[in-house]
Structure 1
């Protein structure tokens, strides 16, 4: 039986106001992120109490989460790139260590990038 080979990467979960979606996706694209998922109309509780997603009319007023999977060195660069934004705006980035079975879906120059990110 063949075991699935897993490769370590970082998952970024970027939560910010929908009005800033273009800024965030532009930054990700310029950094070379191959893809991401956007989840809209988030609800939850934070420092300012409950936040309800807006299901109609204005997506810019709702919170969104952008999920991206990248090598460690790119995650570090993206965090540096987002820092000035989060100094001036609300939101948060969660960073998790993950493993994926199809690294070519997330890393442009695999295996070179993977070898470089593991050194």
Structure 2
């Protein structure tokens, strides 16, 4: 059988955190991730969706702090529990959710210390 470039691609196991909070809490989330040693993350703004508090419209005219955002980070498994522990008190006082899933990524060097 002929080898392809796909045969040489190596993937590494990480955990994906998808954190949905109101925009006013962006700094709390990014500070927590930075202090935990997360190498990078992606911020998606103007989310729409329905949750326990009803429907949230994506784009408001006057107040970006009230918008929902999602911060996505790929992290090594040992960081997951400390990060979730940092979120526990926050989620006791504010709306939001953290999704955790298993993922495979290319270029593991981007996620290692």
RMSD: 1.1
Gaps of 5+ in 2: none
* TM-score, L = length of structure 1: 0.86
Answering whether residue 62 of structure 2 is matched by residue 57 of structure 1, we say: yes
- Report the CA distance between 1:107 and its aligned residue: 1.9
Size of the alignment, in residue pairs?
108
Match for residue 21 of structure 2 among 7, 16, 20:
16
The structure number with the bigger radius of gyration is: 2
SS of match in other structure, 2:8? coil
Contact 1:54/1:61 (CA < 8 Å) preserved in 2? Answer: no
Q: In 2 relative to 1, CA 58–72 (structure 1 residues): closer, same or farther, beyond 3 Å?
A: same
* Structure 1 unpaired stretches of 5+: 109-119
Which runs of structure 2 are paired with 1:1-119 in the superposition (5 Å)?
Answer: 1=3, 2-108=7-113
Q: Give per-residue Cα distances to partners, 1:42-87, cap 9 Å, x unaligned.
A: 0001112211012433211100000000001101110111111001
Normalised by the length of structure 2, the TM-score is 0.90
